[in-house]
């Protein structure tokens, strides 16, 4: 009256396997098409510039996820902007330009703060905490897209324009590409300065003045 249990289980397994294979066959081409289309869009993005073109050696966006791509571009732009400010600040300090007055009540003058990593050992812990808190405030409340920008990384928030809207689309794309490239160069530049200073114990200008161009010899 009752069918053999092992036979029923085998039939169920066969049916489940067949449905999985059929589902995979049905969905795989569509997913591949979507992924290929998205990757093609990434390859034509303004950030894919000569000589490297579309450069993703780690395959971070190989799945064609546009949301992930936008997130990575957002982070790249923000880090590039921070690095550009860091490079400018580094050059200003090396030029001997300082704020007037003292940095704290102990009488430590801005002019007495050395350049590079040595500044971290000179400024008090309270001063470092204030700097970190200010940067955190900028990160959480200022340097973000609040109103829904025109593009990824648009932090104008309907309050800071400087004539951007008078440019045509081609000019806007050109200027965005310039910012992206400058940011990439600044990230490499400030990282190189930091690593060289840690290896040699000299700031960039101290290395140049001493003729110590290579940090390895």
pLDDT in tens, 93-126: 988 899 999 988 889 999 999 998 999 999 999 9
Could you tell me the end-to-end alpha-carbon distance of the chain, in angstroms, rounded to an integer? 89
pLDDT digits (tens, 9 = 90+) for 138-173: 888 888 887 788 888 888 877 777 788 889 999 999
pLDDT at 4 over 80: no
| CA distances to 53, 100, 129, 166 from 109, in Å | 48, 8, 18, 44
- Between 104 and 22, whose confidence is greater? 104
- pLDDT number for residue 150: 84
pLDDT band at 14 (very low <50, low <70, confident <90, very high): low
82/53 Cα distance (integer angstroms)? 24
């Amino acid at each position: 009256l009752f069918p053999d249990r092992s036979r029923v289980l085998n039939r169920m397994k066969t049916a489940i396997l067949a449905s999985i294979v059929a589902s995979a066959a049905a969905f795989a081409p569509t997913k591949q098409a979507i992924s290929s289309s998205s990757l093609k869009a990434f390859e034509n993005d303004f950030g894919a510039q000569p000589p490297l073109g579309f450069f993703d050696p780690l395959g971070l966006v190989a799945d064609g996820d546009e949301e992930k791509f936008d997130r990575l571009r957002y982070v790249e732009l923000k880090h590039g902007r921070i690095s550009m400010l860091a490079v400018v600040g580094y050059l200003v300090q090396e030029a001997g330009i300082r704020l007037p007055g003292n940095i704290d009540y102990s009488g430590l003058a801005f002019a007495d703060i050395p350049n590079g990593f040595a500044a971290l050992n000179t400024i008090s812990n309270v001063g470092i905490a204030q700097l970190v808190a200010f940067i955190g405030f900028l990160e959480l409340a200022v340097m973000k897209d609040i109103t829904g920008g025109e593009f990824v990384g648009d932090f104008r928030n309907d309050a800071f324009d400087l004539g951007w809207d008078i440019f045509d689309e081609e000019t806007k794309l050109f200027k965005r590409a310039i910012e992206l490239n400058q940011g990439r160069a600044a990230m490499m530049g400030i990282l190189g300065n930091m690593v060289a200073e840690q290896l040699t114990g000299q700031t960039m200008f101290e290395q140049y003045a001493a003729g110590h161009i290579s940090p390895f010899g």
